[in-house]
């Protein structure tokens, strides 16, 4: 990816982050206003949106070279495990992001 393409990509991903943030707030409001099966559906939407947020941040950091994209390995690929509610790959991506984000490191050191 050229420098120009990378800049355009990161600008687009920044827009994605803004949209996700506002959508999360709207879903949170909706969640407080419903119950029963509708609540369950909105809660599931919130989980999927969280997955999208983590994946989009991870991809943006991968493009910048801050985290490494996994090698394509059909045998060792993890699949989505929806029984646990979140895609288990997201947990690994979040750990990688925490390791490279300076504000996360500052929070850890100030809370300890």
Q: pLDDT: is 101 or 17 the higher one?
A: 17
Kindly report, residue by residue over 82-112, the tens digit of the pLDDT.
544 566 777 777 788 888 877 655 555 555 4
Asked if residue 78 is part of any domain, the answer here is no
Q: pLDDT: is 70 or 28 the higher one?
A: 28
Asked if residue 30 is part of any domain, the answer here is yes
Q: How many domains does the chain have?
A: 1
Kindly report, residue by residue over 22-58, the tens digit of the pLDDT.
999 999 999 999 999 999 989 989 999 999 999 999 9
pTM value is 0.67
Asked if residue 77 is part of any domain, the answer here is no
Angstrom distance (rounded) from CA 82 to CA 56: 19
Asked if residue 22 is part of any domain, the answer here is yes
Domain that holds residue 30: 3-69+83-111
Asked if residue 54 is part of any domain, the answer here is yes
Angstrom distance (rounded) from CA 102 to CA 106: 6
Residue 60 corresponds to which tokens in the numbers above? Answer: 């943006």
For residue 4, how many other CB atoms are within 10 A of its CB? 8
DSSP string, the chain: --HHHHHHHHHHHHHHHHHHHHHHHHHHHHHHT--THHHHHHHHHHHHHHHHHHHHHHHHHHHTTSSPPPP--TTT-----GGGSS-HHHHHHHHHHHHH-HHHHHHHHHH-
Asked if residue 76 is part of any domain, the answer here is no
Asked if residue 98 is part of any domain, the answer here is yes
């Amino acid at each position: 990816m050229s420098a120009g393409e990378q800049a355009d990509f990161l600008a687009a991903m920044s827009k994605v982050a803004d949209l996700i943030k506002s959508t999360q707030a709207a879903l949170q409001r909706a969640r407080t206003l419903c119950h029963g099966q509708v609540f369950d559906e909105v809660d599931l939407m919130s989980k999927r949106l969280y997955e999208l947020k983590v994946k989009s941040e991870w991809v943006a950091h991968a493009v910048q070279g801050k985290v490494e994209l996994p090698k394509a390995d059909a045998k060792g690929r993890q699949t989505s495990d929806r029984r646990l509610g979140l895609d288990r790959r997201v947990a690994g991506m979040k750990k990688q992001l925490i390791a490279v984000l300076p504000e996360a490191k500052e929070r850890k050191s100030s809370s300890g």
